[in-house]
Amino acid sequence: MVKTKENGHVGVIRDIEIEIEHESGVKLYFTRLAPWIRLAIFAAVEQELSYPDAKLYAQPLPNAAIEGDMTTGEESPEYRVACREIDLLRNRENIRRIIYAALVRTDPPQTEIIAHYGAQVEKLRGFGYGESDDWKATVEAAFLTTSAFINQVTSVLIGEAELTEAEVLDYVRLFRLPLEGRKSR
């Protein structure tokens, strides 16, 4: 279930909260991030998870007119597979960061949720799960467990979900604010 309401937050984060109730009964409250924030997240992830050097995948051309001619690495099936794997990692990391950046609060509070899922998170860490931040590890272990829920959250945060009347009015209000006090020409 998705609900929206104004909550008075101001600044880079918009002042509408989006409530999404997880199947566990926990309510997660998000705010949509400005497009430039999402783009900054995407750029940071792209820089951190770069494609391999294509030159490393170059192969000698069979029947080359000039001995020593090489294919470009981009033509290599192995290079394409490596790039697809990077794309999957980038997509996962972009989703994680957008969710963390947009999550403003939970009901019950964060500390109670960490305490409740602490044993489960520690068990996962024992199997090699490497997220060291307790809150991020808890969000992933407790809530980001199904594609359906992740898709629901991301579609709302990235704006693919239908806007409510309150959100439309809020957008109109945000765009009108800079125009107040100006005279028509």
11/21 same-domain check: yes
156 vs 12, 18, 120, 132, 144, CA distance in Å? 18, 8, 28, 27, 15
pLDDT computed for residue 184 by the predictor: 47
Residue 10 has pLDDT above 60, yes or no: no
Instruction: State which H helix or E strand residue 141 sits in.
Output: helix 134-142
Instruction: Say if residue 99 is in the same domain as residue 166.
Output: yes
Residues 130 and 164 in one domain: no
pLDDT score at 8: 46
Same domain, 35 and 71: yes
**What's the whole-model pTM score?**
0.71
CB 86 within 8 A of CB 51: yes
Do the domain assignments include residue 184? no
- Domain contains 185: no
Q: What percent of the chain has pLDDT over 70?
A: 76
- Total number of domains in the chain: 2
Residues 90 and 33 both lie in one domain: yes
Range of the domain at 114: 108-142
User: Is 58 within the bounds of a domain?
Assistant: yes
Within-domain flag for 43: yes
In a domain, 23, yes or no: yes
User: Is there a single domain that holds both residue 23 and residue 48?
Assistant: yes
Same domain, 133 and 171: no
